[in-house]
Amino acid sequence: MRWLLTTLLIGVISVNLWLAFQIHHDSRIQVDYKEDLAELNRIGYGILSVNAWKEQVSSILTKKIDEFELTDDNRAELQASVEKALHRLLDEVNQVIEKNKKRSLWDKIKGETMGLFFDIEEFRKDIPRFAEAVLEELDKDETKANLKRYIREKLDEFTAQTGSIEDYTSRKLILEKYRHEDVQICTAFLDEEIAIGGEKLKWYSHLMIGMVILGFLLWWWISIGRNRTAFFLLIFISIVPLWSGVSTPMLDIDARISSFEFQFLGEPLAFSNQVLYFQSKSILDVVEILIRQAGIDSVSVGVLVMTFSVIFPLIKLLCTGMVEFRRNLLNNRVIKFFVLKSAKWSMADVLVVAIFMSFIGFKGVIESQLGQLDRSSERLDILTTDDSSLQIGFILFLTFTLAGLVLSGIAERRFSIPHT
């Protein structure tokens, strides 16, 4: 029976080690996908980009130019505008004639002669007829085509002069990386890959948790409390989720504007999926970032987090396994400290609570700030989204923490350690 228990526990360890490798490998790929997706849809390429606004505005203006037609609704208004322009033209001609009359004798003679053949007031009476002729000319297909082409050319010249120097290097590299030319297509591809990878990681993590529970059930069911090898293997089974927990992201912080839309000249001007902020880090990533900082305070925090939340619980379990084989090791002060007295220094459970509370805090702050955007204006249709979520790293680290607590209780009874 002991041989069977040991074999089964070794099998559980083997499965968990394979799962740990798969989780670590696939989670790195997931982080790359998520970071690339966030970069593709960064708000700097959308709402905060002058070029993005220019493209949408010019597209709407071009559409309006192409759709322009003379109709009964706008013909009267256009005729009034043409008549007004012709009246202004005649006023300017009259001013030139009167001005010339006040100059030399020759200019006065020319002005008087022009007045004999050019009666401005008579021309004013014919302005409605002239305006109608202009509109009829505008209504011809060839004239409309030439006019629209001219306006589009002027619009292109204007938009070419309007813009800003923006760095699209990161976005181009991502598109080349996944062999896509269009941002929308690449975004859809990454969304699909993230969804598939997320389901796979979820299945792996659930299976690992199941293996840990199975290990404890096997050890308890067969009830061979004195099987030292089995107890040591049980400790090893509990340690495997630790590596997966600290090396995979625990928390994704994701704030974005899902939809930003308003009406411009009767057409929707919209931006979608604008990423404001995104981070996906594991404990090891955070510790590495803190240690690399120049400030002594950041380095100290990184060392303390790693020491009391990861190293202490790990050493405690390893020392417990060593004492299981050699009880006289309790005479060693260091080992005795880790086995019997390090529980109050081990803060893995505190870290779990801290991460969960941080998640609640981040989510509350983000939702509050994004909610202010939603209420910013009645003319703007803004839909904000907080996609922050706990990741499998948190669940696996929680699994290790709970398993460590159970093992500590088992070890306390096995070593006959009285409560104090």
What would the DSSP string read from start to end of 386-406? E--EE-HHHHHHHHHHHHHHH
Q: What's the burial of 116, exposed, middle or buried (CB within 10 Å: 0-12/13-18/19+)?
A: exposed
pLDDT at 72: 64
Question: What are the backbone angles phi and psi of residue 264, rounded to the nearest 5°?
Answer: -130, 110
Output b/e per residue, 399-420; b: 16+ Cβ within 10 A: bbbbbbbebbebbbebeeeeee
pLDDT at 419: 45
Between vectors from CA 333 to CA 328 and to CA 339, what angle results, nearest 5°?
Answer: 75
Measured from the Cβ of residue 234, the count of other Cβ atoms closer than 10 Å reads: 28
* C-alpha span between 144 and 347 (Å, rounded): 77
Amino acid at 259: S
- Cβ–Cβ < 8 Å for 214, 206: no
Output b/e per residue, 369-396; b: 16+ Cβ within 10 A: ebeeeeeeeeeeebebbbebebbbbbbb
* C-alpha span between 211 and 8 (Å, rounded): 11
Secondary structure (H, E, C), 106-156 = HHHHHHHHHHHHCCHHHHHHCHHHHHHHHHHHHCCHHHHHHHHHHHHHHHH
3-class SS of residue 47 = coil
Question: In the chain, what are the helix, strand and coil shares in percent, each to the nearest 5?
Answer: 75, 10, 15
Between vectors from CA 220 to CA 243 and to CA 318, what angle results, nearest 5°?
Answer: 35
Measured from the Cβ of residue 135, the count of other Cβ atoms closer than 10 Å reads: 15
- Cβ–Cβ < 8 Å for 34, 194: yes
* C-alpha span between 115 and 50 (Å, rounded): 54
pLDDT at 117: 47
Between vectors from CA 402 to CA 304 and to CA 321, what angle results, nearest 5°?
Answer: 80
pLDDT along the chain (420 residues), means of 10: 75 91 92 91 79 73 68 69 75 67 56 55 71 70 70 68 70 90 90 92 93 86 65 84 87 76 71 81 81 78 78 81 79 77 58 54 51 51 58 86 80 60
